[in-house]
Each structure stands twice: as structure tokens, then as C-alpha cells.
Amino acid sequence: MATSVYRIRQALRIPLVLDSVLLLILILVSFFVKGSTPERIVFSVVFIPLLYLCLEANTRRVETQGETIRLIRLFRTKELNWSNITDVGVVMMRTKVYAVLTTTKGFHILSNSYENFYGLLRTIVDHVEKDRIEKEVLNLLENPVENRTNIFSAWAAAAFFCVIIFFKLFMN
């Protein structure tokens, strides 16, 4: 049986990697060219969660194959049988959509940051019994919502880091 793989959108992964690299450059500039101690601390403290977010976004994926769905994250993997999913629901906050897969052992959340999120949601709906799918999921498949705010924010952060680097290197 064919395996389908869904990853976090490349349009989000690219600026996250760029943000991490630019912030690392900014840290190096503050240590070796010019910078104050509080500045170094702030940049370093911001860099740690940004690096984790970047690594998480680049390793996170969902694989569907046969009777299972596999949720792969940075340091963990969960494999669920379609028959173990007791409810499929959605939570919407403006343009951010979360699919919630409830099982007998807990729940799992998938965001619309995945490439082809609605294809993934359609695959889930096709494999799970109809009485376990909430009406909102079917309504969402008919009227998809796009979320570009994360992508815009990541590019804005990259531009911000570029401006700071420019000022640190070329303005006195």
C-alpha cells in the first residue's frame, strides 16, 4: 500500500531556517564585533527556542499507510491504527485550524501548517468511521481556511534580523 507523507509547509520551514541562521550571525557579531552583555544574553535566550522550533518544523511529519497513521516529531513517534481513533474534530482560531484526533489513550493535534493539510484531513475522514467524525470537519473540507500569518511572521523576523545585522556592522 502507498505511503502518503505530509510535512510542515516548505514556505514556513525556509524562513525559520533563515531566522535561525541570521540570529546565529547576530549572536556571533555581538560576541566578536561589537555588542553588550545584555544584548548577547537576549540574543542567546531567543536563539534556543527558535532553534528548537526550526528543528521541530523540519522533522515533523505525518505518514499514512494502510491501517495506520504515524505522527513523527523531533524526539518521538506515535503510531495509531485508524480503528483506535474515537473522534475526529477541529478547533478554529481565526485562520489557524487544528485537527484533533481523539483515541482511547489520549488525543493528537495536527495544525494547518502542514502542506496539503486538507488532503491529510480528507485521508483521515476516508479512513475513520463516519459516526466518529464531527460535522465541523466535513464543513471545513468544503470551505477550507488558509493560514499565512506564520509564514509572514517568519519572513518579517528575517527582515528584522537583517536590519539589525546591517546596523551593527555598518552604522556606528
Read off the pLDDT of residues 64-107 as tens digits, 9 standing for 90 and up. Answer: 998 999 999 999 999 999 999 999 999 999 889 999 999 988 99
CATH number of 4-170: 2.60.40.10, 2.30.29.30, 3.20.20.70, 3.40.50.300?
Answer: 2.30.29.30
Q: What is the mean pLDDT of residues 32-42?
A: 90
Say yes or no to pLDDT of 3 above 90. no
Specify the pLDDT at position 1: 63
How much of the chain, in percent, has pLDDT values that exceed 70? Answer: 99
* Rounded Cα distance, 142 and 113, in Å: 18
How much of the chain, in percent, has pLDDT values that exceed 90? Answer: 84
* Rounded Cα distance, 46 and 43, in Å: 5
* Rounded Cα distance, 99 and 119, in Å: 12
Locate the domains of the chain by residue range. Answer: 4-170
